[in-house]
Structure 1
Amino acid sequence: MTDIQTPDESSTGPEGPDAPLHRRGIKSYVIRAGRMTQAQTRGLEEVWPRFGLTIADGRQDLDALFGRQAQRVVEIGFGMGNSLIEQAETHPDTDFIGIEVHSPGVGKLLDEVDKRGLTNLRVYKEDALAVLEQCLPEGSITTVQLFFPDPWPKKKHHKRRIVQPAFVELIRTRLKDGGTFHMATDWEAYAEWMAEVMEAAPGYANTAGTDTAPYVPRPAFRPLTKFEARGEKLGHGVWDLIYRREA
C-alpha cells in the first residue's frame, strides 16, 4: 500500500475514505503483556497448527479452508473469545473466522475450540486490517462483527479508533451483497461516532427501524457478556449498529 502523509496530530474527526489504513506508529490497539495460563499455552502450542492462520498463508479460498460452502462470519477483536465460541457452537452450519492480536485470548479460544470439538472456526493472531486486505477475498463474508472495540475516548486519540471511513469501505468490499457489518459499544460517544461514519459511507443501508435508528436492540444472536450483564444492572447502556451492504 502506498504511504500517505500522516495527518496533523490535532485531527480528531473521522478520516476520509481515501485515508491510508496503515500508518507507521498509529494502530487501533495496544499489545498488553499478560501471563499465560496452562490452557492458553496449550491452545497456542498444540491447537494452533490445526486452526491458526497467518498473513503468510496468503489469500484464502474459504470453501477449501472449511471444506464446504456456508455462511461466513468474521469477528474482529474477539478478546478472550467467549462470544465467538458460543456463536460457533450454537451455529455449526456457519463458519467463523476470529481475528485478535492478544496471545492470551487467542490461546484461550483455541483451547476451547479443541475441548468442544469445534471444526467451524479459524483464527488469525494478526492485525485485522492486514487480514482483510491480504487474506479475505472480496464479496466472501456474510457478516463482519466488531464488538466493544477500544473507544480511545481522549480527543487526541480519536484518530486511533478503528471505525474510520477507509476501514468501513474495506469492510464493504469483503461483504457479500446483502451482508452486514455489526458493531456494538458501551461508549455512547463512540456509538455516535460509528453512526456518523456509517451514515456517510456509500454502499450501506442502516437496518434499524425508524423508532430506534440509528441503533438496533441487541440481537439474540449476539451473546450477552458477563461484563455487559453487570453493566445493564448498573444502568449502563450498550449500543448496537447493523448496516447492510447494498448491491
Structure 2
Amino acid sequence: MSVARSMSPWRRLWGSAVLAAALILLLPEKVRADPGVPVPPNELLSDRGKGAIADADRDFVIKVRLAGLWEIPAGEMAQDKSGDERIKTIGRNIADQHVVLDQLTRDAAKKLGIELPDKPNSDQQGWLSEMREAEGSQFDTIYIDRLRAAHGKIFPAIATIRASTRNDTVRKLAQRANQFVMTHLTLLESSGIVDFGSLPTAPPPSAAQPSAGAPVLAAGEQRQSSGTNLPLVLIALAGGLAAGAFATRQLVGSRQPYRSRRGRYYSG
C-alpha cells in the first residue's frame, strides 16, 4: 500500500507529461507560441460603438460576414472530400474559427445597425461550385488556392480599417479579424501546395510617396510652411536694425575715453 501511494504522484506527473506531448504533436497551431513575440492585448480596446462610422467601415463588416458564409461550407467540404488528413484538419480549423468570427461580426453589426447578407456573393458561390465538382487532389488544390487568394486580398484591407476607423467597435473587430486571417494564412500555407508564383505581387514603391517615418502635412500646413510670412520678416528686420544702432552707439561712445587714456599713457 505504501509503495502504491509513493508511486501515485510520479504516475500523475508522467501522465501530465504524456498529455502535454500529445497536445503539442496533435495541435501544434494551438499550443506552440513564438517566445518573445507579443500577442495584441485585445481587452484593452473599447467596444462601445462610439465614433463615426464611414462607408468603408460598413463595407468591411459586410465583407467579414461574407467570408464566413462561404469559408464555413468550404471547410466542411474539405473534411468530406479531401483524401489528405492535413487538408481535412485545415478545413476543420478554418471552418470552426469562422463560426467564432461570424458571431463577433454579427454582434458588431447589431450594435452598429449594419444590415448583413445571408448568403455568399456570386464569386463565392462560383468557388463553392468548383469545389463541389472536384475530387481528391484536384479539390485540395482548388480549396487551398481559392482560400489563400481570398485571405491575401482581405489582409491589407483589414489593416487599412484598423489604422483609420474612428469607431471603436469596428476597430476591435478589425484587430480580431486580422488575427484570424493571419492564422488562416499560416494554416493554408502549411498545406505545402500553395502556388505562390500565381499570387499578385506588391506594387512598386512610388517616388511621390513620403518615406517611412516622414510626417505628412495637410495641404494648409504645407502652404503655411512653404510661404513667406511678411509681418514676421518685417519685425525681424526692425529688431535687427535697432540692435545694430544700439551696438554702434555703444561702440562710438566707448572709444573716446580709450583714446584719451592712450594719449596720457604714451605722451612724452
TM-score range normalised by the length of the shorter chain: under 0.3
Q: Which has the higher helix share?
A: 2
TM-score (norm. length: structure 1): 0.24
Computing the radius of gyration from Cα coordinates, the structure with the larger value is 2
TM-score (norm. length: structure 2): 0.23
